Structure 1
Amino acid sequence: MSDTNRVWRLRKRPVGEITDDVLSLEQEAIPEPGEGECLFRLNYLSLDPTNRIWMSDMEQYMEPVAINAPMRGVVCGTVIKSNTPEFKAGDIVSGIGSWADYQIGSPATVGLLGEVGDVPVIDAFGTLALVGPTAYFCLLEIGDPQPGETVVVSTAAGAVGCLVGQIAKIKGCHVVGLTGSDEKCQWITRELGFDAAINYKTENVAEALAKTCPNGIDVYFDNVGGKILDECLKQMNLHGRIPTCGLISQYNATEPVPGPYNYDLILMHRLKIQGFIILDYMDRYPEATEALIGWMKEGRLKARLDVSEGLETALQAVKKLYTGENTGKLMVRVKDA
């Protein structure tokens, strides 16, 4: 075990894009666990769009990260020392932690990763810790896709979107994904089984949606908000559903963002739009885990990891989420479990 602990700390609130002075990497002492706590070494750090929300002081679903505090993240690590009966040395845990080599956990913040069979730990964490349950519950509980319906997914080559499209196919739907490059379009159609893909950067989105969704849209899985939401609103069927999982098009905005210009169609088409936060479904994680692992073992659910090597790369890597550079689940590998 190292004698020092590298910790990324939040030094200022980002304005617009995340700049290099927002976080700093510090060398600190390794903390000691108290009663009811454990010390674990970080194996993998999940990088997610919500990181930008946590850095800000906007109204949000958790307290924002305090200035000078360790940066919050979804983590997977190996227990080194434990003062709680829930964990023992060598256990693999995952949950809410920080961007640090060594950190303190408790049963309130982390839990055992659980039995994953032949699935490698990095793949299990990348899919099961956050994005898999998010895709599963947000689509199935709010989107409620039915066989034969049309499901449109934004950021379809991202960590959540690529899983949403595959789950919708498993449920018997016609699935169209929007993404930002021809390579990503080819990946989601040829490898993941999407029925069609739209490059929103080079194609006319309205025309492409009309062509690929000839029967209209029943479920629009929204990860972005903004202009794409407006275009999808125009083509939603009566009683369509819009699970709102993210608004990544506006996280770096420095000015107020206009609401949907086609807001009236929510009324005219009797649409259901509902926001989603995974914390509301934590008690049902075993249900999602069982289904996701089952589909993974059957080869019906595939994931791609976009892995950055070393904790020191986290700041530059997280920026990729907001430029669309990543394909699949973005994460940092610190030390394999």
Structure 2
Amino acid sequence: MSGTNMMRVAVIGGEGIGPEVTGQARRVLSWFTERRRLPVTLEDAEFGLEAYRRTGKVIPPETRAAIDGADAILFGATGGPETAEVPAEARREGSLLKLRRSLDLYANLRPIITDPALYEAAPLKERVLRGVDFIIVRELSSGIYFGEPRGIETGPDGSRRGFNTNSYTAEEVRRVARFAFGLARSRRGRLCSVDKANVMEASVLWREEVVALHASEFPDVALSHLYVDNAAMQIVRDPAQFDVMVTDNIFGDILSDCAAMAAGSLGMLPSASLGPADTRGRRQALYEPVHGSAPDIAGKGIANPLGSILSVAMMLRLTLGQPDDAALLERAVADALARGARTADIAEPGQAALSTAAMGDAVLASLERLAA
């Protein structure tokens, strides 16, 4: 982390639609540096296929230096069929999973908030969507995506077997649960912990540690538990019942995509991935939209940049210490939507769809109006 008053943000578009949506988020962040005198410098850095073609590494040394020197990282997306030309070992070495692990980004926050302007665009009924405002806290640096042993093996008879290990230590559970409890305490005081403790030993440990932490440190927070299959059903049946939800890596990955249907589209969802606090209370942080690289629409200029733009709002609040600017940006996105700005994924039948850049224009125009 940088130690001066001027803060640094590494901007990494990545692959697929990543550069397109990140480009609009960068425009918005630049508006704050110029119009609101936000003390931030932006450093663009390469990641992914093009970086590999140029340097032989998915994350070149200069990109890693930018990441290590940044107060926050604004990331786009990774993956797609074109990346098949990158050797498997090079891809693993520069994977987003490994980057998250190396920065110890253990707490992933995915806010799910409905906007009345998108009620008709969402696949759920309006009566289900009213009042939805909750956050999924996903443990991000452990669990089945990192567990060992893992692999694919061929038996003596030629049969093949794939296997992964879902493993958690008590401390890995407790630190993400502690973060989620603290977040719930700052909101409406309710935490729902999601596991599969009826069939999985890792989930038995998860629930035991969450219960113990609740009793010892957070008795003022109302704690409930759901099995993950029931949680998925409840998210589409009555998402307004939730305040903060905490769960493990793979369950959080799946449930947050499910919850996107309450927000109208996966393209609407921002996220923040945070590491442990240092002695100054600051955390390593990576901000990115929840959606993937969407290679089927990459390069067409039609991707929804609002997930990336709203990730900038999370950055303003959580890393850059500008809650008023974060609220201003969130109001600007709501204003643009209320005025009818839509990309194809959130447009109603017959409604005109904006390009990625035009949606960025709409948010910037709203910022200008609201800041006047």
TM-score (norm 1): 0.30
Q: Which has the higher strand share?
A: 1
Bigger proportion of residues as helix = 2
So what's the TM-score if we normalise by structure 2? 0.28
Q: With a CA cutoff of 8 Å and minimum separation of 6, indicate the structure with the bigger relative contact order.
A: 2
